[in-house]
Amino acid sequence: GVRPPIMNGPLHPRPLVALLDGRDCTVEMPILKDVATVAFCDAQSTQEIHEKVLNEAVGALMYHTITLTREDLEKFKALRIIVRIGSGFDNIDIKSAGDLGIAVCNVPAASVEETADSTLCHILNLYRRTTWLHQALREGTRVQSVEQIREVASGAARIRGETLGIIGLGRVGQAVALRAKAFGFNVLFYDPYLSDGIERALGLQRVSTLQDLLFHSDCVTLHCGLNEHNHHLINDFTVKQMRQGAFLVNTARGGLVDEKALAQALKEGRIRGAALDVHESEPFRCRIPDSLKNCVNKDHLTAATHWASMDPAVVHPELNGAAY
């Protein structure tokens, strides 16, 4: 699994670094342009990557739109490091990467503010039904009586005093919790990986089991990474443990939610409404029928702002630490 050292200097050609998916390398280029040759692959699978890159690239940058299995990683003959442009790395087989001598880095602080802001937007939208009211107006609905007001606003709810349950209290989860408290939510969280004490520091209530969180929450929001232990964390069984008429928000990873089970719960009214920024199949292909109007879908764009993509304080340390 040990690969030979990278030779760089006046007597050696510049090492080849590849951006595997996409073509946006705006932040990275000022760092790499003087020390490496950069190839833009714009690929969705390793089958679309040129043989020269597979044979010679010593470094790879990647977003979330390409997956690297062991079979994919074995195609790279000189690869030493992968930098995931973002926080999640569930699209990389990190165990196999380690076996092959390939280091994997992520950018854990990337888009924390954007993701937390967007999560609150989704939550507020579900409670105040902004999307549905806008759509009703676009379709020509005019409210002229008290009865019509009640009909159009049916399902809207007051936020203050409601309980928000956060699954995963990492950087994003904490940012969401602080924002939610400002809106009047009581905030619970479940995170078996955090040591005791953070709940007192942030003024939150901790629960010891997922079942406790689901049972006591009026709205559940997911902020954990995806791994083999929590795939379909929200499924037919756990949905039935949620409060009748609760909301669900997922801006973390699509594989955390069994979309078929969610669709059935939305159809039956067990879940009043859901907002999904991420999906099991990406690029976007949601398994929830369009006929279910109580679900808002977006195409994995929660973290997308100009500032998030250009923040040098977040990206530069990872690239500089890659040690070319």
Q: What pLDDT is attached to residue 233?
A: 98
Q: Which of 180-205 are b and which e, b meaning 16 or more Cβ less than 10 Å from the residue's Cβ?
A: beeeebbbbbbbeebeeeebeeeebe
Strand order in the sheet with 57-62: 37-40, 16-19, 57-62, 81-84, 103-105
Report, as an integer, the average pLDDT of 206-219: 98
Q: What pLDDT is attached to residue 12?
A: 55
Which one-letter DSSP state was computed for residue 132? Answer: H
Report, as an integer, the average pLDDT of 265-292: 81
Q: For the chain, what are the domain ranges?
A: 16-110+308-320, 112-304
155 or 125: which carries more pLDDT confidence? Answer: 125
Does the pLDDT at position 30 exceed 90?
A: no
Does the pLDDT at position 324 exceed 50?
A: no
Query: First vs last Cα of the chain: how many Å apart?
Result: 20
Lowest mean pLDDT among 9-13, 43-47, 58-62, 165-169: 9-13
Q: CA–CA separation, 51 vs 311, rounded Å?
A: 32
Does the pLDDT at position 208 exceed 60?
A: yes
CATH of domain 16-110+308-320: 3.40.50.720
Residue 64 pLDDT level (bands cut at 50, 70, 90): confident
Average pLDDT, the chain: 87
Backbone angles phi, psi at 242, to 5 degrees: -80, 160
323 or 40: which carries more pLDDT confidence? Answer: 40
Does the pLDDT at position 144 exceed 80?
A: no
Report, as an integer, the average pLDDT of 16-26: 87
Does the pLDDT at position 308 exceed 90?
A: no
What is the number of other CB atoms lying within 10 angstroms of the CB of residue 276? Answer: 25
Q: CA–CA separation, 97 vs 82, rounded Å?
A: 9
Q: What pLDDT is attached to residue 23?
A: 76
Angle of CA points 97, 40, 115, to nearest 5°: 70
Report, as an integer, the average pLDDT of 9-37: 82
141 or 58: which carries more pLDDT confidence? Answer: 58
Angle of CA points 142, 146, 152, to nearest 5°: 50
Residue 323 pLDDT level (bands cut at 50, 70, 90): very low
Provide, rounded to the nearest whole percent, the portion of the chain with pLDDT above 90: 62
117 or 141: which carries more pLDDT confidence? Answer: 117
Q: Report the topology of domain 112-304.
A: Rossmann fold (3.40.50)
Same fold across 16-110+308-320 and 112-304: yes
Does the pLDDT at position 317 exceed 70?
A: no
Task: Tell the residue number behind the tokens 């443990």, with chain if given.
Answer: 241
Of 41-45, 286-290, 308-312, highest mean pLDDT: 41-45
Residue 236 pLDDT level (bands cut at 50, 70, 90): very high
Which one-letter DSSP state was computed for residue 9? Answer: B
Query: 151: number of CA atoms within 13 Å, CB side?
Result: 9
Residue 146 pLDDT level (bands cut at 50, 70, 90): confident
Lowest mean pLDDT among 234-243, 247-256, 272-281, 309-318: 309-318
270 or 322: which carries more pLDDT confidence? Answer: 270
